[in-house]
Amino acid sequence: MRWQELDQQPCSLARTLSVVGDRWTLMVLRDCFLGIRRFDEFEKRLGITRHVLTDRLKKLVEEGVLKKVPYQQRPLREEYRLTEKGLDLHPVILALVNWGDRHMADERGAPIEHVHKACGKVMQPVTVCSECGEPVTARDIQVQVGVGWKPEDEAEQVLP
C-alpha cells in the first residue's frame, strides 16, 4: 500500500489517514481546537516552516475540514475555521490526547485538563455504544463486512 494511494483503500481508517495522518496536520488540528485561527499564530506556536504549514492548511481546506473566513478586507486577510467535518474530528483528538496523558505524560501528569462546561468537572473521553450506551473497549467489539464493502475489495485484506 503506497502512502499516496491511501484515499483509494477500502478502509475508512486509511482514507482518514490520507487527510489527517501527518504529525503536522494533527498539530494544526490541535491548535484549531485550542482556538488558533490565523496563519502567523500557527507558525509561531508550532515552529513549522511556512511551506509545510501552507501545504497542511491547503489540504485541510481542500478536504473540507477547515474553511477560510475573511477577517480583514484591505488587504484581504483570512483565518482558518473548523467546519462541521472538522469539528467531527474532536473525539479523535481527545482520544489521542487522553492516550498521551495516560502513556506519555511525565511525573507531573497531564499538561492540559478538559473540563465539561455543563457540570464543571474535569473529564476523560469514553467510547460508548451508540445503541445501548454501554462503554466499549477493543475487546468488546467484533468486526464484520459492512454495506460499503465491494467484492473486489477482497484482495485488499482489510479484514482478518
**How many Cβ atoms sit within 10 Å of the Cβ of residue 41?**
14
Q: What is the pLDDT of residue 96?
A: 95
Is residue 64 within 8 Å of 85, Cβ to Cβ? yes
For the chain of 160 residues, list the mean pLDDT of each consecutive stretch of 10: 69 88 96 97 96 97 97 94 98 95 94 95 94 94 84 61
DSSP H or E stretch at residue 71: strand 66-72
pLDDT at 59: 96
Residue pair 14/1 in contact by the 8 Å Cβ criterion: yes
pTM (2 d.p.): 0.86
Q: How much is the pLDDT for 147?
A: 84
Where exactly are the structural domains of the chain? 1-88
What is the CATH T-level fold of the domain 1-88, as seen in this structure? Arc Repressor Mutant, subunit A (1.10.10)
How confident is the model at residue 149, as a pLDDT? 77
- Neighbouring residues of 86: CB distance < 8 A, sequence distance ≥ 6: 29, 32, 60, 64, 65, 66
- Chain length of the chain: 160
pLDDT of residue 11: 80
- Which residue is listed with cell 460499503? 148
pLDDT for the residue numbered 1: 60
Contacts of 34 (CB under 8 A, 6+ apart): none
Name the nearest CA neighbour of 136 among 144, 148, 128, 146. 128
Beta bridge partners of 66: 82
